[in-house]
Structure 1
């Protein structure tokens, strides 16, 4: 999270890092360190506090891989 409110997603390797994506999550100047707890990113600027869900959704199995579904009658 940069001082201007831009959040970056980047994989880090031994060779360095390359920005995959970035987005503005806060509009005013950011002075506080962000915190990450249980997949939730907490960040604040001069005006507001946000909680952004950073968890990756669980993959859903395709219907054919899950097998036939029985309907209650």
Structure 2
């Protein structure tokens, strides 16, 4: 299974992406989640289960980065 990483904001994303230079990296930028784990972005909420279900098809040596972009503001 590919490595899964979560980060918050552009600075954390840049640092995380740098760690995986030379690898195939898949990234999802998503609205940050509330205490119930729901994103403020309705499109992200619709896409998230589809993306999660299909992560099994990415190469084993790839990296998947889930980056929360912050509050809607």
Q: TM-score, normalised by structure 1?
A: 0.28
Return the index of the structure with the highest Cα Rg. 1
Q: TM-score, normalised by structure 2?
A: 0.28
Greater percentage in helix: 2
Greater percentage in strand: 1
Q: Which has the higher contact order (CA 8 A, sep 6+)?
A: 2
